[in-house]
């Protein structure tokens, strides 16, 4: 039996009538600006992997700059500083646009905001590459880059110099020669650092301590014991270590002591390949202690899916491109698996009433999610477990056919009956058990409109519909957009829709004129947090 409702309730939630007679979240240029900053696209699609940013796909950014430059720049800064986007690239590109096409006041605001958006050397190089294609290097731009080098605390600037020598075709030497920053006479360390970056002769004792240690490290590339001791004494980052020395287990042992948790997870493969992390080794014990410490995981804000992807790659013993191989240490594989469940506590709940729909078809067994050995079925089940553990009002269903009591749409997709059945998943299940419970179900057509029609028919109150499939996003007689709007109109609930194509290269279900829909094309470690942010956000 369907739920009753009226148009006034829908209007009270911020939805507006549309030309098709339904209701939608309004999308204006300011919504498109935020989309661009978070998704890297003004459309309602997030694409996992790198995508080129151009003026052509940032037209709403330019319109916002023309309408209210100050507001546009502040929005760019807010999204960047809050860490809402998987990557900072769109914010840097938008700031470069603001510094190039805005009026004089907007350009000045954008350049003044450079240190807040370009917080690392890599960010600065990305900004330089973007702005270089949009405008000339006039006095204002040169002054802004000079201020970046002059205002950053010297110890932080030294770290940028050591960690990020060159990116995007730009180096510190290039920018210093363009900007000509003039350090005060009493700022001898900064003056010396500029000279060193530009390749000029400089007295070592005048340089910041980190740079002195880096120079010393480069001279010790063949003296591994001395180099390892220097790394420990000076807490040198990996980038300060000569590349050839990174083949030595003793060097990685020295780096491991102060290594952040995310870097530890990212370099486990390498540390195992060089023989440092081995069965029964002190390094393995250190790694196990870090992975089993829930407080450490919480402090590092590691999402469960990052750990699961790492566990599958590490357990396979082979890198994505196959150039690096290692013998996985089984206790480490198990610790990563345990950490996946421990990290559920680090996920910030949205508090929404969720209906999660899983594709259970045979093609979901194909591996390749985020370049790992993880199958689409495992990734979908894992995300369902994370949602069940963190969102108390979650209902999980599968696209099935032929099960007793299954809800049926009355149609067929590519020869398969469209049906939906509740799945008996529990956050207390292990992932393998969850996968097994859905692997052998009779699958039906993956009709992305069916979850909304099912909820409407069963009288379910749902704030967010999230669909996980591999690359099949079939649509039946009722389009998903229309089904969502029917649900909103009938219930007065401002429901949102997210469709995740776990190994897809491209699809488009979300209506770009509706701020309550999102397509996630492909899947990466950033996708879960991005989905959660989208569901929490009040449009």
Q: What is the 3 state secondary structure string of 412-475?
A: EECCEEEEEEECCCCCCCCHHHHHHHHHCCCECCCCCCHHHHHHHHHCCCCCEEEEEECCCCCC
| Residue in the block written with tokens 């970046």 | 148
pLDDT in tens, the chain (539 residues): 444 444 454 444 455 554 444 455 567 899 889 989 988 888 778 887 767 888 887 899 999 999 999 999 999 999 999 888 888 999 999 999 999 998 999 999 999 999 999 999 999 999 999 999 999 999 999 999 999 999 999 999 999 999 999 999 999 999 999 999 999 999 999 999 999 999 999 999 999 999 999 999 999 989 999 999 999 999 999 999 999 999 999 999 999 999 989 899 999 999 999 999 999 999 999 999 999 998 888 888 788 888 888 998 899 898 876 689 999 999 999 999 999 888 888 788 888 999 999 988 777 888 888 777 788 888 889 889 989 988 999 999 988 766 667 777 666 544 455 688 888 898 888 888 888 888 877 777 778 888 999 999 999 999 999 999 887 766 567 888 889 999 999 999 999 999 988 887 777 888 888 889 999 888 887 788 888 889 988 64
Query: Which residues does residue 469 pair with via DSSP β-bridges, in sequence order?
Result: 501
Structure tokens at 352: 């929404």
State how beta strands 170-171 and 354-359 pair: unpaired
Same domain, 292 and 406: no
Per-residue b or e along 457-487, where b marks 16 or more CB atoms closer than 10 Å to that residue's CB: eeebebbbbbbbbbbbbbbbebebbbbbbbb
Same domain, 336 and 403: no
User: Residue 415 — left, alpha, or beta (φ > 0 → left; ψ -120 to 50 → alpha)?
Assistant: left
- Dist CA 343 CA 311 (whole Å): 13
* Three-state DSSP class for residue 337: helix
Same domain, 479 and 405: yes
Q: Which of 467, 466, 357, 378 is nearest to 429 (CA)?
A: 378
Per-residue b or e along 418-427, where b marks 16 or more CB atoms closer than 10 Å to that residue's CB: bbbbbbebeb
Q: Using alpha carbons only, what angle is made at residue 338 by residues 337 and 339, rounded to the nearest 5 degrees?
A: 90
The whole-number pLDDT of residue 226 equals 97
Q: How many domains does the chain have?
A: 3
Domain assignment present for 215: no
pTM for this prediction: 0.81
Q: Which of 314, 343, 372 is the last residue of a domain?
A: 343
Domain assignment present for 250: no
Same domain, 298 and 362: no
Same domain, 520 and 380: yes
Same domain, 366 and 327: no
Q: Which of 292, 320, 343 is the last residue of a domain?
A: 343
| Residue in the block written with tokens 């002591």 | 257
Same domain, 385 and 436: yes
- Dist CA 539 CA 26 (whole Å): 8
- Dist CA 467 CA 288 (whole Å): 35
Same domain, 432 and 397: yes
Half-sphere exposure of 205 (CA within 13 A, CB side): 0
Q: Using alpha carbons only, what angle is made at residue 128 by residues 64 and 522, rounded to the nearest 5 degrees?
A: 70
Domain assignment present for 239: no
Same domain, 48 and 181: yes
Q: Which of 210, 230, 251 is the last residue of a domain?
A: 210
The whole-number pLDDT of residue 361 equals 79
The whole-number pLDDT of residue 506 equals 78
Q: Is the dihedral of CA 9, 15, 17, 18 positive or negative?
A: negative
Domain of 503, in residue numbers: 350-536
């Amino acid at each position: 039996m369907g739920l009753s409702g009226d148009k006034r309730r829908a209007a009270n939630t911020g939805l507006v009538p549309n030309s098709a007679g339904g209701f939608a979240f309004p999308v204006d240029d300011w919504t498109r600006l935020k989309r661009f900053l978070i998704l890297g696209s003004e459309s309602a699609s997030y694409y996992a992997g790198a995508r080129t940013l151009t003026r052509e796909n940032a037209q709403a950014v330019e319109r916002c700059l023309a309408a209210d430059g100050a507001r546009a720049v502040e929005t760019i800064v807010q999204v960047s500083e809050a860490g809402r986007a998987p990557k900072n690239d769109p914010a840097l590109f938008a700031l470069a646009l603001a510094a190039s096409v805005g009026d004089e006041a907007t350009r000045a605001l954008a350049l003044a905001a450079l240190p807040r958006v370009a917080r690392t050397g890599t960010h600065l190089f990305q900004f330089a590459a973007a702005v270089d294609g949009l405008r000339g290097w006039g006095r204002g731009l040169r002054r802004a880059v000079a201020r970046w080098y002059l205002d950053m605390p010297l110890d932080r600037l030294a770290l940028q110099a050591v960690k990020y020598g060159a990116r995007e075709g730009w180096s510190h030497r290039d920018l210093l020669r363009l900007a000509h920053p003039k350090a005060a006479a009493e700022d001898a360390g900064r003056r010396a650092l500029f000279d060193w970056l530009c390749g000029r002769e400089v007295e070592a004792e005048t340089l910041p301590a980190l740079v002195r240690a880096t120079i010393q490290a480069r001279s010790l590339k063949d003296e591994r014991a001395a180099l390892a001791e220097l790394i420990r004494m000076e807490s040198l980052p990996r980038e300060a270590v000569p590349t050839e020395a990174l083949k030595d287990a003793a060097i990685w042992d020295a780096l491991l002591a102060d290594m952040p948790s995310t870097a530890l997870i990212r370099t486990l493969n390498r540390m195992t390949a060089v023989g440092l992390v081995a069965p029964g080794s002190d390094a393995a014990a250190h790694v196990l202690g870090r992975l089993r410490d829930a407080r450490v995981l919480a402090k590092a804000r590691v999402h469960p899916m990052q750990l699961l992807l790492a566990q599958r790659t590490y357990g396979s013993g082979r890198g994505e491109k196959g150039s690096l191989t290692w013998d996985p240490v089984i206790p480490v594989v198990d610790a990563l698996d345990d950490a996946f469940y421990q990290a559920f506590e680090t996920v910030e709940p949205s508090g929404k009433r969720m209906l999660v729909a899983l594709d259970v078809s045979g093609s979901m067994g194909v591996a390749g999610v985020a370049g790992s050995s993880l199958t689409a079925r495992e990734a979908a089940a894992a995300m369902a477990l994370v949602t069940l553990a963190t969102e108390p009002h979650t209902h999980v269903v599968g696209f099935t056919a032929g099960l007793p009591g299954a809800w049926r749409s009355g149609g067929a997709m590519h020869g398969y009956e469209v049906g939906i059945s509740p799945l008996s998943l529990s956050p207390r299940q292990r992932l393998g058990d969850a996968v097994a419970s859905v692997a052998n179900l009779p699958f039906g057509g993956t009709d992305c409109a069916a979850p909304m029609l099912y909820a409407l028919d069963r009288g379910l109150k749902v704030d967010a519909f999230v669909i996980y499939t591999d690359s099949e996003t079939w649509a039946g007689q009722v389009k998903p957009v229309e089904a969502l709007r029917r649900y909103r109109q009938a219930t007065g609930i401002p429901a949102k829709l997210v469709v995740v194509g776990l190994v897809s290269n491209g699809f488009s279900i979300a209506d770009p004129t509706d701020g309550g829909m999102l397509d996630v094309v492909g899947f990466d470690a950033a996708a879960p947090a991005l989905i959660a942010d989208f569901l929490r956000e009040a449009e």
